[in-house]
């Protein structure tokens, strides 16, 4: 039996499939480590020098993003290996998954950019000499993150019209609160104490 396999074209196809999976795992691992270090060293550590909590949150998001990149490449390699050895059982599932990978990656990238942007904005507000900067930075961070999450949901096809309308109402209310916190903070603080 082994002689038949070693002499036939099947062994070549199986070797190609194993090579594809091995290369996929290796390339995925290398890309994961490289992208993580590049984002961490050249972006996150420079932006969040003084704000450790913002750096930690962004670092977690960076880990999630790089894990998704790695497993996307491994998934593509498995799909290619299944095509090579002509196993039809999982091919349709992998074809569907690989067809949707770009949308999923962009969905996660939009959320990652939103959280990063919200952290940068909150850190910038905290560095300024503004009254109630903690409250304003928290509100701003929440608003920006929510806007990016809603945008990413719309991108992947989730109709979030009701959520967007609710977000607009909340956004207008928060804008008024921020203006009051900057201009006349005693109106809110006095009422909160009573």
Are 79 and 91 in contact by the 8 Å Cβ rule? The answer is yes
Tell me how far apart the alpha carbons of residues 32 and 40 are, in angstroms, rounded to a whole number: 12
What is the pTM (predicted TM-score) of this model? Answer: 0.59
**CB pairs under 8 A, 24+ apart, for 96-102?**
101/72, 101/75, 101/76
**Helix ranges restricted to H, 40-160:** 45-47, 52-85, 91-127, 133-155
Tens-digit pLDDT string for the chain (194 aa): 445 445 566 788 888 888 988 999 999 999 999 999 998 888 778 877 777 777 777 788 888 888 888 888 888 888 788 888 877 666 677 677 667 778 888 888 888 888 888 888 888 888 777 777 787 788 888 888 888 888 888 887 777 777 777 777 777 777 777 777 777 766 665 555 55
Return the domain boundaries, the chain.
Answer: 1-87, 102-194
Q: Vertex 172, ends 171 and 178: CA angle to 5°?
A: 85
Alpha-carbon dihedral angle through residues 103, 104, 109, 112, given to the nearest 10 degrees: 150
Give the residue from 44, 51, 58, 41 showing the smallest Cα distance to 127. Answer: 51
């Amino acid at each position: 039996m082994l002689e038949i396999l070693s002499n036939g074209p099947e062994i070549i196809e199986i070797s190609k499939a194993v090579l594809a999976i091995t290369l996929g795992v290796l390339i995925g691992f290398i890309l994961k480590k490289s992208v993580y270090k590049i984002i961490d060293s050249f972006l996150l550590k420079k932006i969040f020098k003084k704000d450790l909590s913002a750096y930690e949150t962004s670092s977690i998001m960076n880990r999630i993003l790089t894990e998704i990149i790695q497993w996307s490449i491994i998934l593509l390699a498995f799909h290619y290996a299944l095509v090579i050895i002509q196993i039809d059982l999982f091919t349709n599932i992998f074809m569907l998954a690989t067809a949707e990978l770009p949308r999923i990656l962009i969905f996660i990238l939009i959320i990652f950019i939103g959280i990063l942007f919200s952290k940068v904005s909150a850190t910038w507000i905290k560095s300024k000499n503004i009254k109630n900067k903690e409250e304003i930075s928290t509100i701003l961070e929440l608003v920006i993150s929510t806007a990016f999450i809603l945008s990413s949901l719309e991108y992947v096809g989730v109709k979030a019209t009701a959520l967007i309308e609710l977000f607009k109402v909340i956004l207008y209310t928060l804008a008024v609160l921020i203006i009051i916190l900057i201009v006349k903070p005693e109106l809110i603080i006095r009422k909160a104490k009573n």
